[in-house]
Amino acid sequence: MAKRRILKKEIGYTAGNLFLEAMFCKLYLPGTNPEAADSIMARILDMQDNFICRAGKPDGKDNTKLVKAYYKKLREDLQKEIDAIATEIGELNK
């Protein structure tokens, strides 16, 4: 596991890119539902807060196997959430 600081920065960077994409769709693509874009942007911010908090508080600090499993699950959950949000952003301008 890399440093928690790096993981938190990666989460923030990814959330920022998703937020920027949703904001771009809302402002510059005609036919985009602004309420749907706002809800996606709120979801992105909630996701960022949730995963940064989770990254800072691993289960079983003394047991390295538990910590490894915790961060592996965290990364899997993060990837699933990113994929779901990216799919929603893609459906905004359909």
pLDDT in tens, 22-65: 999 999 998 899 999 999 999 999 999 999 999 988 877 788 88
pLDDT in tens, 59-89: 777 888 898 999 999 999 999 999 999 999 9
For residue 58, the one-letter residue type is P
How much is the pTM? Answer: 0.89
Task: Please state the domain extents for the chain.
Answer: 4-92
Q: What's the rounded Cα separation, in Å, for the pair 88 and 86?
A: 5
Residue 2 confidence (pLDDT): 62
Q: What's the rounded Cα separation, in Å, for the pair 14 and 48?
A: 9
